[in-house]
């Protein structure tokens, strides 16, 4: 069995607990001065990769866990976090503040990165919680012609490079089996990501971080989708409270709900 060379793409997004606000010009969501962190699904990807190594789950062992992120200088923070969780090294693809890539461009960038890093397993989050697109992993699998297992809740390694993945689907789960190289996207049930300990955060500062440019991957920030406007959703008016169960029932009847 081949040793695993895992590539884990991570994205810096507005922290999941922050309520995003649309900017005054209605062109985007306000990001300045807002707390950012690693996309929660990407934490699951890093955790899973580290656990595969720690629990010696893959017969061929884990040779390398490389994390990659495209974004402004601050994207290095999420790469350092991933390294503090146990990733070996990072690649920061530098972009200007405010520049963004569409999933298809990210997938094309990752396709090149996979070739360069000789990765045989890419573990991505199932979606980023800012754009909510849920596309990059599948697009990358399509571009590479590799098998894909999306919304994974369990990953097991067998003999002869085989990987069994249990995937969340509507109404339950399904199990798929494929051979390396492959693409896996993570779902919430896969694991519970660890907190990086202080000593590990210190150690992570010494781990190698390579800096690259979009041009190194032949990628530009050109977009296929033009954002015409971003607005707040129509506000919902709370209807007030009732005193008791009878009040609840009569209000629901009044609203035509029952």
Q: Which of residues 117-156 bind other proteins (CB under 8 A)?
A: 126-127, 129-143, 146-151, 153
**The two three-digit tokens of residue 247, written as one number:** 């009040």
Q: Is the dihedral of CA 29, 35, 40, 43 positive or negative?
A: positive
Q: In angstroms, rounded to a whole number, what is the distance separating the alpha carbons of residues 248 and 145?
A: 55
The residue behind tokens 């402004």 is: 72
Q: How far is the CB of 20 from other proteins (least distance, A)?
A: 4
| Alpha helix segments (H runs only) across 91-210 | 103-117, 136-144, 198-204
| Binders of other proteins in range 32-61 (CB under 8 A) | none
Q: How far apart are CA 78 and CA 81, in angstroms?
A: 5
| DSSP letter (8 states) at residue 252 | H
Tokens 């199932």 label which residue? 126
Kindly state the smallest distance separating residue 49's Cβ from other proteins, in Å. 20
Smaller CB separation from other proteins, 199 or 238? 238
SS3 248: helix
- Binds other proteins (CB under 8 A): choice among 10, 62, 168, 193: 168
The pair of structure tokens assigned to 181 is 């190289």
Given 66, 107, 155, 219, the residue binding other proteins (CB under 8 A) = 107
- 29 is an interface residue for other proteins by CB under 8 A: yes
CA atoms of 104 and 133, how far apart (whole Å): 11
Nearer to other proteins, 151 or 204 (CB): 151
Query: In the complex, what is the shortest distance from the CB of residue 197 to other proteins, in angstroms, rounded to a whole number?
Result: 23
Residue 133 vs 209, nearer CB to other proteins = 133
Q: How many CB atoms lie within 10 A of CB 237?
A: 6
Site for other proteins in 177-216 (CB under 8 A): 177-179, 187-189
Of the two residues 78 and 180, which places its CB atom closer to other proteins in the complex? Answer: 180
Determine which residue in the list 3, 73, 175, 202 makes contact with other proteins, applying CB under 8 A: 175
Q: How many residues bind other proteins (CB under 8 A)?
A: 81
**Contact call for residue 106 and other proteins (CB under 8 A):** no
């Amino acid at each position: 069995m081949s040793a695993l060379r895992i590539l884990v793409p991570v994205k810096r997004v507005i922290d999941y607990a922050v309520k995003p606000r649309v900017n005054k010009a209605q062109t985007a969501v306000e990001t300045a001065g807002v707390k950012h962190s690693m996309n929660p699904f990407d934490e699951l990807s890093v955790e899973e990769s580290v656990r595969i190594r720690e629990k010696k789950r893959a017969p061929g062992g884990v040779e390398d866990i490389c994390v990659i992120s495209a974004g402004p200088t601050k994207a290095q923070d999420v790469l350092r976090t991933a390294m503090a969780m146990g990733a070996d090294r990072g690649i920061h693809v530098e972009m200007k503040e405010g520049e963004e890539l569409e999933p298809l461009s990210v997938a094309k960038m990752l396709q090149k990165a996979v070739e360069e890093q000789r990765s045989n397993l890419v573990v991505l989050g199932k979606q980023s919680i800012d754009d909510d697109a849920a596309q990059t992993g599948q697009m990358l699998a399509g571009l590479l012609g590799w098998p894909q297992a999306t919304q994974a809740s369990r990953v097991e390694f067998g003999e002869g490079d085989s990987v069994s993945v249990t995937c969340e689907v509507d109404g339950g789960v399904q199990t798929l089996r494929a051979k390396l190289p492959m693409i896996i996207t993570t779902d919430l049930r896969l694991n519970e990501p660890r907190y990086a300990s202080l000593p590990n955060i210190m150690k992570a500062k010494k781990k190698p971080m390579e800096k690259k440019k979009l041009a190194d991957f032949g990628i530009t920030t050109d977009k296929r989708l033009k954002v015409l406007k971003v607005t707040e959703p129509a506000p919902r008016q709370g209807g007030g409270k009732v005193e008791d169960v009878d009040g609840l029932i009569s209000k629901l009847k009044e609203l035509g709900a029952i």
